[in-house]
Amino acid sequence: MISRTRVFSCLILLSGVASLSGQGLTPTHRVPRNEPLERYDNPPAPPRKIETSPRMISVFGAFISYQVNVDQNGQNIVGDAANECAISVDPTNSNKMTIAWRQFNSVTSNFRQGGWGYTSDAGVHWTFPGVLQNNVFRSDPVTKSDETGNFFYLSLQSNVQQSFFCDDLWRSTNGGQTWVEQSPDRGAGGGDKQWFTIDKTTGPGHGFQYQSDDGINCSGGGVEFQRSTNGGVTWQSPINIPNSPIYGTLDVDTNGNLFVGGEGNTFYCVRSSNAQIGGQTPTFDRSTAVNMGGDLGSGGINGVGLTGMLFLAIDRSGGPTNNNIYMLASVVPPGRSTTDVMFVRSTDGGLTFSAPHKVNDDPVNPSKWHWFGTFAVAPNGRLDAVWYDTRNAANNTDSQLFYSYSTDAGVTWSANVAVSNSFNPFEGYPNQSKIGDYITIVSDETGGNVAYSATFNFNPARNQHEEDVYYVRVAPAAPMAQSAFSRKIHGAAGTFDVPLPLTGNVGVECRSGGATNDYQMIINFGSSVTVESASVTSGTGSVSSFGVSGSQVTVNLTGVTNVQRITVTLHNVNNGTSTGDVPVSMGVLVGDVNGNAAVSAADVALTKSQVGATVSGSNFREDVNANGTISSTDVALVKAEVGTALPP
């Protein structure tokens, strides 16, 4: 039964789309129920001559998006399309990832297949071997990894008569290079739209796989849940989920409890505490209604597709936020026809949830879209969220991928940051007017790995851009160093520091490094930090040791050659809020006592003028050998370097 309040909200929602329709957008409406999202409309595209162009590497500030759906030579395939991408990362080797997507071999046909790509170098280069099965209609890709690095690919299958909507599960044990079907074709049950997860706890349900669907499924009845206790080879008979939540993901807490999210007549978080017991038929013992601040939407900026799904994820950090349940979705708020990214949390095992919190931080604007919102929980409890955003578009539809993170269980979120170039989501349609229905992210200790679709490549034959799959790494901005110095002890005269500016011209260390060319860098932060490691990332030299004392980091260098710019990078600096790498550079030019990046007669004269003077903060640079006195020895050292200069 639909309440009067919900009917009223829907009427307002529909009345608000007139202006958008005037811009050529389809009307926004609530997501469909009891009908398939997938339709077998076209046969496979006929064979064609394959043309290629250079793969797209799209750079936006510090963020680099690498094209994933490339041919065996790493080239873009002109005239195809790819969308609806699901990423998984090998937890034992983060360089290894796989992304699955809906592959359209030609934009002239919306016949889609199970495409995928893999990388072994942290997403810089990708290989697209082909599809799971040639000329088999597949859609709704979902991937997961287990704790040992095996990848799993759950794929929906159907036929031209749409006489079935069934899944099968595939496994890769070699980093996504090849896949082996675990269940027979259609043997995984499921349906359209399905999501699944894997129990990675050490409890009785370890390794169990769980999936839910939207009611258009293999068995033909109800929004259903299924379980596999043998790695996806067989699946138990489906069980109806209370309140029929659809278009939502599943996750498992550290106690082995399974939680399913989705939207019924409102949003729900549904729990099964015994799905982890292999000898028992799973039951659902809790179903909590959740206010997400709006409804899932369809149409509008995404044509015939959804504007978002519900993502549920659980904190397994082992810290104070352990077993928090989080839900995030792009929803249409009451009275609106566009979307916001909304977030809620439960700190009591799903009994209650917080009020909805808007993650996108731009002012409310009924013309702006924040769609395809998704998120992940890092092992340390940080939350990473990404979504498509039109806030910067004069036409209100060109979209960018945006990013925000939270380190306090979603109570507050960082300032939103654009992490991609802008793209037109209406171009490159593969005879189907949408760019898929979702994007995905997997987080680790320092950042998130994102798979998304965008239209950066241009196809001159069609005079428009193409839908392709991209990978981008997002992460909180690294902590900012406040100051840096090169420090030496000048005998009995004391310790003196050469400032190393963090921006602009590099600071020049003019003192010699002794017999083994040793130097010491001091880097100061605004608060206490931890540092995983330090290394020389540019120039000649090495780190002999480093130490951290509160907000100060000391790096000892050896083997540092003269006449160079050297960069030391502190890796995974963490100030409790953000984590990242911090580079600090220094020029090394012995004898450049005036610090102008060149040694000349002026440096010789300046050193001579200080011979015999007491070493102090105003003349310590002339004590080139740092022995606590300025003498003819220092003058000789400077003379020997006249004519040298820092490289540009």
Token code pair at residue 312: 């549920």
pLDDT at 175: 97
pLDDT at residue 548, rounded to an integer: 98
Which tens digit of pLDDT belongs to each residue from 39-98? 788 999 998 999 999 999 999 998 999 999 999 999 999 999 999 999 999 999 999 999
Question: Between these two residues, 17 and 319, which has the higher pLDDT value?
Answer: 319
For residues 405-430, give the mean pLDDT.
96
Among 618, 631, 612, which Cα is nearest to 496's? 618
| pLDDT value of position 550 | 97
For the chain, the structural domain boundaries read 4-474, 481-641
Strands (E), 229-309: 239-240, 250-252, 258-263, 267-272, 286-290, 297-300
Helix, strand or coil for residue 622? helix
Which pLDDT belongs to residue 602? 98
Q: 481-641, what's its fold?
A: Immunoglobulin-like (2.60.40)
pLDDT of residue 2: 33
> What does the pLDDT average to over 520-531?
96
Please give the CATH number for the structural domain made up of 4-474: 2.120.10.10
560, pLDDT greater than 50: yes
Work out the pLDDT band at 220, boundaries 50, 70, 90.
confident
Could you read off the pLDDT of 591-643 as tens digits, one per residue? 999 999 999 999 999 999 999 999 999 999 999 999 999 999 999 999 999 99
Q: Which residues make Cβ contacts (< 8 Å) with residue 564, sequence separation at least 6?
A: 539, 540, 587, 588, 646, 647
Burial of 213 (0-12, 13-18, 19+ CB in 10 A): buried
Confidence of residue 184 (pLDDT cuts 50, 70, 90): confident
The pLDDT score that the predictor gives to residue 510 is 98
pLDDT over 50 at 561, yes or no: yes
Q: How many CA atoms lie within 13 A of 39 on its CB side?
A: 9
Cβ-in-10-Å burial (0-12, 13-18, 19+) of 483 comes to middle
Model pTM score: 0.80
